Amino acid sequence: MILFDLARRNIRLHWLRSLLAVVGIIIGVVAISSMGMLGNSLVLSISDSLTSVGDTIVVSPHVSSAQGSFGSSGGLRITERQVEEIRRAAGANTVIPLRTGADRITVGNEAKTAALYAMDPADVPVLLEKEGGIYLRYGSGVMVGKKLAEENDLKVGETIGIGTGDERARIVGILKERGIGFDINPDYALVVPDTWFASRYGERDYDQVIIKVRNLEDIDGVKAAVDDKLNRREQVVNVLDTRKVLSTIIDAFNQISTFTTAIGGISLVVAGISILNVMLMSVTERTKEIGIIRSLGAKRGEVMRIFLSEALILGLLGSAIGGALSLAGGYLAVNVMLQSTKYLFEASTLVYILYGVAFGIGVSLLSGIYPAWKAAMMNPIEALRFE
Amino acid sequence: MSPPVTDPYPIIRLEDVTKVYPMPAGDVLALDHLSLDVMAGEFIAIMGPSGSGKSTLLNLIGCLDVPTTGEIVISGRPVRSLSDDDLTTLRRDNIGFVFQTFNLIPLLSVLENVEFPLLLRGRPAGSRERCTEVLGAVGLTPDLFTHRPSELSGGQQQRVAIARALVNDPGILLCDEPTGNLDTRTGDTIMALLGALNRQGKTILLVTHDPRIAGFASRTIRIVDGSVA
């Protein structure tokens, strides 16, 4: 009605500064929404590419700061005796000791390097899924990671050369794609029988021991038992459970996402200040008008409504336009940062547009409250005298 | 038209009213124990030198402010203890203001300016007709209704302001130098209009410096130093 209409006409009268305030809100809303959308897409893509099995404990040799550079476990192994201790600590749960290595492989005439995972063939089905062929059996034969198979066009039944000699191995199975794991990453690797690996490379100790826990509630207990058995005097192994690592990583990305969204929020605060400024100017300029309508019988609340309407109109305009542009802004940000917009049209991503719009309207109204209150509390006599 | 026959009763009563404005340099006594009765249907001119308190008197009667001490009764309602909202409602329903500078809302058309007080009452049925009626009564032609105030002459603007003051049919019209910004001839037509409204029963209080304008009123009150001289 007319109170709203007065606000609308005043915005039209001062269209340039109103437009600038609206632009501020648009930028704020776009910033907050696209940052939020980017962050959420990032978290979604990270958690999607991580193997989110929560039932795995990874035991690896501990590298103390005195021993070599960070991340190199060169020379450090888990011995057969330690594996036996881990087995005792793990009780009924499956314990899978692993050896890892890398070697040249020859596909046709092409030579390249691939990672090798050696394990007891009986353990392979516990840890990995096959996509084609069969699981490993005793003796020879290898399984090939999905990516390695794809990139070299490897099929079940073919043979590949391993090492520089004329040793060849038959591919018995192709593994299912697994993504980035905290235990092993077989997508670009060969999985070979441990006996074959030991005879070829002469390696007796292990690089890593994986414990598959049957009952998720046992994870902490098994971890504590392994820790207790092996690390009593000094730390010799690291004991990690994947669930914790996963949640730590997701938490970290969520924090980054919140942080970038908050930076977007700052621009909205700036936009709010510009609305505050526009509204205070409007109130001062219209002091006389406020006096007039008060003398005509407008109550304080009605005066307040006029100015809140003005802030609301600016906020609605800016937020609506900003919300529409956010889709484009989010698309751009996600496309540039992730090279994929796969996660953009998820509800949990798109909801950030709603957040942005809601924040935009909220900030605008909040910025309008003080000027509106100032207008409402004006002494009508002094306001009428204002020139 | 002859004045309606009613028993005279004080539509405005000021009982020992004092108004003090606290100022940084010390309190200013604007009205000093002033008592006054205005009968319904009177046309009163209030005269006095600048700073004598005549504007303060008009503001208090107009419910734009409340007295520091004493009591003001408007149409039977004492105002001193009223809340701001009640005071505003009393003003909206009983008082019409006419100002020296017209004080129309520049963003609204002539018709919307006149309609504004009705909208504050929730736009009763027949609002538009009522506006057209009062605009006709003050002598404005329909071709002007859609104009903005700035497109009108001073005399026309004051007529719009009077129409706006009349639209809620208040008993009291308060006029603060209504001819101060008009030439003599236009001023006289405005005074004739006010005289006609008075004869239709409106109680009019008019603040002026001009003894000739005061001559249109039926009674003149002089204010000196915050009290009736």
Chain A nearest-CA residue for B94: A297
Q: Is B196 on the interface with A (CB under 8 A)?
A: no
Q: Is B120 on the interface with A (CB under 8 A)?
A: yes
Domain boundaries, chain B: 10-228
Chain A residues with CB-CB distance to B116 below 8 A: 2, 293, 296
Query: Cα torsion for B66, B70, B73, B76, to the nearest 10°?
Result: 130
Average pLDDT over residues A301-311: 92
A79 and A10, same domain (yes or no): no
Alpha-carbon distance B105 to nearest alpha carbon in chain A (angstroms): 6
Burial of B189 (0-12, 13-18, 19+ CB in 10 A): middle
A174 and A84, same domain (yes or no): yes
State the pLDDT at residue A51: 59
Residue with tokens 């409204």: B197
pLDDT at A225 over 80: yes
State the pLDDT at residue B3: 52
Alpha-carbon distance A315 to nearest alpha carbon in chain B (angstroms): 22
Chain A residues with CB-CB distance to B115 below 8 A: 2
Pairwise pLDDT comparison (B148 vs A132), residue with the higher score: B148
Q: Is B28 on the interface with A (CB under 8 A)?
A: no
Q: Is B100 on the interface with A (CB under 8 A)?
A: no
Average pLDDT over residues A126-145: 84
CB pair distance less than 8 Å for A10 and B99? no
pLDDT digits (tens, 9 = 90+) for A33-48: 998 898 888 888 877 7
CB pair distance less than 8 Å for A293 and B115? no
Predicted confidence band of residue A78 (pLDDT cuts 50, 70, 90): confident
Chain B residues with CB-CB distance to A384 below 8 A: 64, 99, 103
Q: Indicate the number of domains in chain A.
A: 2
Q: Which of A30-34, A51-55, A235-239 has the lowest mean pLDDT?
A: A51-55
Residue where a domain stops, chosen among A235, A264, A296:
A235
Q: Alpha carbon of A214 to those of A55, A57, A74, A244, A310: distances in Å?
A: 7, 11, 32, 17, 63
A182 and A134, same domain (yes or no): yes
Predicted confidence band of residue A278 (pLDDT cuts 50, 70, 90): confident
A198 and A317, same domain (yes or no): no
Residue where a domain stops, chosen among A212, A235, A258:
A235
CB pair distance less than 8 Å for A296 and B89? no
Element (H, E) at A237: strand A237-241
* Inside any domain, residue A54: no
The fold of B10-228 is Rossmann fold (3.40.50)
Average pLDDT over residues A76-81: 85
CB atoms within 10 A of CB A213: 23
**Polymer length in residues for chain A:** 387
Q: Looking at this predicted complex, what is its ipTM?
A: 0.91
Q: Which range, A13-27, A65-79, B147-161, has the best average confidence (pLDDT)?
A: B147-161
Residue A188 structural domain? 63-235
Q: Is A310 on the interface with B (CB under 8 A)?
A: no
Average pLDDT over residues A322-339: 90
* Inside any domain, residue A195: yes
Residue with tokens 């994929």: A340
Alpha-carbon distance B167 to nearest alpha carbon in chain A (angstroms): 11
State the pLDDT at residue B27: 92
State the pLDDT at residue A75: 60
State the pLDDT at residue A71: 44
pLDDT digits (tens, 9 = 90+) for A92-123: 888 999 998 888 888 877 888 889 999 988 88
A261 and A370, same domain (yes or no): yes
Q: Is A92 on the interface with B (CB under 8 A)?
A: no
Alpha-carbon distance A262 to nearest alpha carbon in chain B (angstroms): 40
pLDDT at A192 over 80: yes
C-alpha–C-alpha distance, residues A378 and B140, integer Å: 33
A199 and A113, same domain (yes or no): yes
A271 and A228, same domain (yes or no): no
Chain B nearest-CA residue for A380: B64
A103 and A82, same domain (yes or no): yes
A160 and A254, same domain (yes or no): no
Chain A residues with CB-CB distance to B112 below 8 A: 2
Predicted confidence band of residue A376 (pLDDT cuts 50, 70, 90): very high
- pLDDT-flagged residues of chain B (< 50): 1
Chain A nearest-CA residue for B92: A297
C-alpha–C-alpha distance, residues A192 and A197, integer Å: 7
Sign of CA dihedral B170, B173, B176, B182: positive
Q: Is A373 on the interface with B (CB under 8 A)?
A: no
C-alpha–C-alpha distance, residues B29 and B35, integer Å: 15
A380 and A263, same domain (yes or no): yes
User: Strand, helix or coil at A302?
Assistant: helix
Q: Which of A152-166, A323-337, B92-106, B136-150 has the lowest mean pLDDT?
A: A152-166
Of A292, A300, A302, the CB nearest to B120: A302
State the pLDDT at residue A72: 44
Residue with tokens 């077989």: A186
C-alpha–C-alpha distance, residues B222 and B54, integer Å: 9
